[in-house]
Amino acid sequence: MLKKPSTLRGMFAVTLASSLFALSSGCSSHSGMGASTTTSTPLSIPNNSQAVTSSPPPGSQASVNNTRDLAAAQSEDILSQNAGTARDVDSGGGAAPLTYASLGDALRQIGLTPEDGKTTYILKVKTTTQDQSQWTFPINVSLSDDQSVIWITCALSQVDENGAPSAQSLIDVLAANQQLGLCFFVLDSKHFLILQRPMTNAGLSGPKIGANLKSFFDCLKGSEPLWNKFFKPSSADNSGGGGGSNPFGQ
């Protein structure tokens, strides 16, 4: 029996929790004689045909105040205009599952202009956050190996690019998963922080996909004060992320 996206979410939450613990407690120590280096041991998880199968293409991660990326991106308004009336829920039954080709057609039907990465459609969407930072988000839309799940993902930044992050920052990101609905944060094998969301590939129309993309984007934008702590500008055109408090805190 195929696992539902809610089950997949639980699996990835366990993986993220293990990875975050390894990052916060498994770094090297150089504080004198007898210091030792602790290395993390990755979990051994069987391959899952419903899992995300396409890694973010090189350079396909969020950028801030990057003139070139902003010029190539669509405004977030396109998601609001074409979201339809579908709710952020699992859509089951009804129309036949989408193929990769028909998935692209559905995205274009609602006014999006995705880049075709052959296994992943890349939507570049821009927005301005409350601190006036201008972000470009490359949102990937792809099918799982067995084509039963459509994955929406966005790679943000390598969390340990500037050294081991603080335990509290990692805890805040992990705790936010409880309040993000069907969206959730994960780490990939290269320690990129990624927001992702699964959709059951059944009964999906362009407007339903648009509604779920809008919901995903709202989670992405709203959680910026959490994940920008791990962000390092990748070009001279960037000025860095914004600040702010935990939007999901008490």
Quickly list H helices, 50-130: 67-71, 77-81, 100-109
DSSP symbols for 177-228: GGGSTT-EEEE-TT-EEEEEEEEESSS--HHHHHHHHHHHHHHHHHTHHHHG
Cβ burial, residue 217 (10 Å; 0-12/13-18/19+): buried
3-state secondary structure of 121: strand
Residues forming a β-bridge with 157: 193
Confidence at residue 48, expressed as pLDDT on a 0 to 100 scale: 82
Confidence at residue 61, expressed as pLDDT on a 0 to 100 scale: 86
Confidence at residue 153, expressed as pLDDT on a 0 to 100 scale: 96
Among 160, 186, 195, 225, which Cα is nearest to 25's? Answer: 160
- With a CB cutoff of 8 Å and minimum separation 6, the contacts of 237 are 65, 66, 67, 68
Q: CB pairs under 8 A, 24+ apart, for 103-109? A: 103/141, 103/143, 103/150, 106/204, 106/205, 106/206, 106/209, 107/141, 107/206, 107/209, 109/206
Cα 40 from chain centre:
23
Categorise residue 15: left if φ over 0, alpha if ψ from -120 to 50, beta otherwise.
alpha
Confidence at residue 43, expressed as pLDDT on a 0 to 100 scale: 66
pTM of the predicted model, to two decimals?
A: 0.75
Regarding the domain delimited by 57-230, which CATH topology (the fold level of the hierarchy) does it fall under? Yope Regulator; Chain: A, (3.30.1460)
Give φ, ψ of 112 to 5 degrees: -85, 155
Cα–Cα distance, 250 to 41 (Å, whole number) = 33
CB distance 115 to 122 below 8 Å = yes
Confidence at residue 163, expressed as pLDDT on a 0 to 100 scale: 72
Tell me which residues of the chain have a pLDDT lower than 50.
Answer: 1-2, 11-12, 14-15, 17-35, 85-93, 233-250
CB atoms within 10 A of CB 43: 11
Confidence at residue 54, expressed as pLDDT on a 0 to 100 scale: 72
Quickly list H helices, the chain: 5-25, 67-71, 77-81, 100-109, 167-176, 206-222, 224-227
Q: What is the pLDDT of residues 72-111, one digit of tens each?
A: 999 999 888 765 543 433 444 456 899 999 999 999 988 8
Confidence at residue 69, expressed as pLDDT on a 0 to 100 scale: 93
Confidence at residue 205, expressed as pLDDT on a 0 to 100 scale: 87
Confidence at residue 5, expressed as pLDDT on a 0 to 100 scale: 55
Confidence at residue 228, expressed as pLDDT on a 0 to 100 scale: 85
